[in-house]
């Protein structure tokens, strides 16, 4: 049985901050950021640290605006700034 890839969704909240929700088979996490840039940077760093991951940017109504799949053969060798 194949494990599904975690999904990181980046979306605005009603009070003007941005949230990154991580949903996976064994983990759920939420992080809040004052800017979209900070939220996107966090989501991409997390995605690059995992073997497989999908990042999706959501609209205010929950529709997917864009998404990207990350497939890293060896996440332990990814350079972080």
Could you state, in order of their start, the residue ranges of all structural domains in the chain?
A: 7-64
So what's the pLDDT on residue 24? 77
Kindly state the helix (H) or strand (E) to which residue 55 belongs, with its residue range: strand 52-58
pLDDT confidence tier of residue 79, bands split at 50, 70 and 90 = low
Would you mind telling me the total number of residues written for the chain in this entry?
81
pLDDT digits (tens, 9 = 90+) for 26-65: 778 999 999 999 999 999 999 988 888 899 999 888 899 9
Q: d(Cα 77, Cα 64) in Å, to the nearest integer?
A: 30
pTM equals 0.78
Mean pLDDT of the chain: 85
């Amino acid at each position: 049985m194949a494990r599904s890839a975690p999904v990181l969704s980046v979306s605005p909240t009603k009070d003007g901050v941005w949230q990154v929700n991580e949903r996976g088979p064994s983990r759920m996490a939420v992080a809040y950021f004052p800017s979209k840039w900070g939220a996107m940077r966090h989501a991409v760093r997390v995605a690059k640290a995992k073997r497989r991951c999908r990042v999706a940017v959501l609209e205010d109504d929950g529709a997917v605006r864009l998404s990207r799949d990350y497939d890293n053969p060896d996440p332990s060798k990814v350079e972080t700034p």
